[in-house]
Amino acid sequence: MQKLAELGRFAGLYADRVYIQNFFADHLPGSHAVRGDSDDEARRAFYDDLVLIGAIRPLVEAGLVVPVTPSDEYCPHCIAKFALGAKGDRHIDREFRRLRKRYLDETQVNVSMRDAGLDYIVEGPDYLLNHGTQLIAGSSIPTVVRGHKRLFARLQAGEQVRLSKTLTQRLNVHSRLAGWAFDDILFELALAYGLGTSFLSDQSPQLEILGRLSNDRLVAERNSILQRYLTTIVPFVPDVPLKDLITLRNREADSFILFRQSLTQAVDAVRADGAFTAHHARQLYSDVVSPSLARLDSRVSKAKLDLVRDTGSKALTWSAALGIGLLSGLVPHGLEAAAQAIGATKVLADLAQGALQGAQIPKDVREDKAYFLWKVRKLAVR
């Protein structure tokens, strides 16, 4: 839910469109994600996915987030050649070997028995494993484990045992993890190539691999930064319902583009000095975003004050015209009845307020690069 919230704000506040893997594809017959699950586990997984898609439903309906069903029938090496050139398959093989070694060196694997199978509980850094852990449910006891009599006896006794690096390598746990991670990378790469999009990820190994595979590293890093830190840069955004954000974006299309361009430039300027962190995001808000919003507040307040003064002066004219109109019978019947029922003062006050409410924001304010964000903030605090 947290990742979807970040992705949703990124899509609503920055992206033209975001393509994601359709996680309902996991429920198709033959998918490795549900193979061996009990009926209750399958129902629970399906319910979870319904909740998740519901969280971003406004974005999906607006076409800003598009779920794409990945195909199991494609050749990674062909994708590499299409997307990366003639020697792309060699680069893919090299990067897969490097990623597999990282999983071997930077994770620990514990095993335990469940029914007739062996469960692998993998622990490691968050940038390799979501939340620092991953469970791989096994359907049988590998021969290599049965051959370690002491290890096998401990497992039969109900212990959870940590595997040595040598045994982890023989069981190919690191290869399975690297394979799943690389499938995601290849799918994203194929999608980016086929649709002309930028690769988006908040996982540093993926970005490092992409940087070595293509020329889109800077775009990928910027997109990752914006996805990860956008709510830090604009801290009022979580208060805005997605449907309201989409409505505003559609209504203020030109100001949205100006805001996105200026945000991109600001992030690139900060990135030029080195790595971008949460501290940099807060600094960007304090030094760039917040002053821009304060300046707009001041300009809009002055514009409204001038309008009130102008409306007040016109009210005197309206009062005289209304008085003359009532006496001469020239005032429309509806307005005359209202004036007689509640008094001319209330009618004039309503007219003045209506003029104020319907007033156009000054052009210099609307063309400000922070105007779209200013409108978002108004949604958040209303």
pLDDT digits (tens, 9 = 90+) for 341-350: 555 555 555 5
With 0-12 CB in 10 A as exposed, 13-18 as middle and 19+ as buried, what is 7? buried
Three-class DSSP labels, 299-348: HHHHHHHHHHHHHHHHHHHHHHHHHHHHHHCCCCHHHHHHHHHHCHHHHH
What does the longest C-alpha to C-alpha distance in the chain come to? Answer: 110
**pLDDT at res. 202:** 75
**What pLDDT does 26 receive?**
75
Q: Nearest 5°: phi and psi at 122?
A: -100, 130
Helix, strand, coil proportions of the chain in percent (round to 5)? 70, 10, 25
Q: Are strands 65-68 and 18-21 parallel, antiparallel or unpaired?
A: parallel
**CA angle, residues 32, 97, 182, in degrees to nearest 5:** 35
Which residues touch 60 (CB under 8 Å, ≥6 apart)? 53, 66, 67
State CA 254 to chain mean position distance: 21
Residue 157 has what DSSP assignment? Answer: T
Residue 342 and residue 281 in contact, taking contact as beta carbons nearer than 8 Å: no
pLDDT on residue 336:
57
Q: Count CB atoms within 10 A of the CB of residue 81.
A: 16
Helix H or strand E segment including 66:
strand 65-68
pLDDT at 259: 93
Q: How do residues 94-122 score in pLDDT, each as one tens digit?
A: 888 999 999 999 999 999 988 778 888 99
Report whether 17 contacts 64 (CB < 8 A): yes
Query: How many alpha carbons lie under 13 Å from residue 272 in its C-beta half-sphere?
Result: 6
Tokens 């507040």 belong to residue: 297
Average pLDDT across each block of 10 residues of the chain; the chain has 382 residues. List them in order. 86 91 77 59 86 92 88 66 70 87 92 83 88 82 86 88 90 89 79 79 77 70 84 84 92 93 88 81 89 89 67 54 54 58 56 50 81 89 66
The pLDDT value recorded for residue 195 is: 81
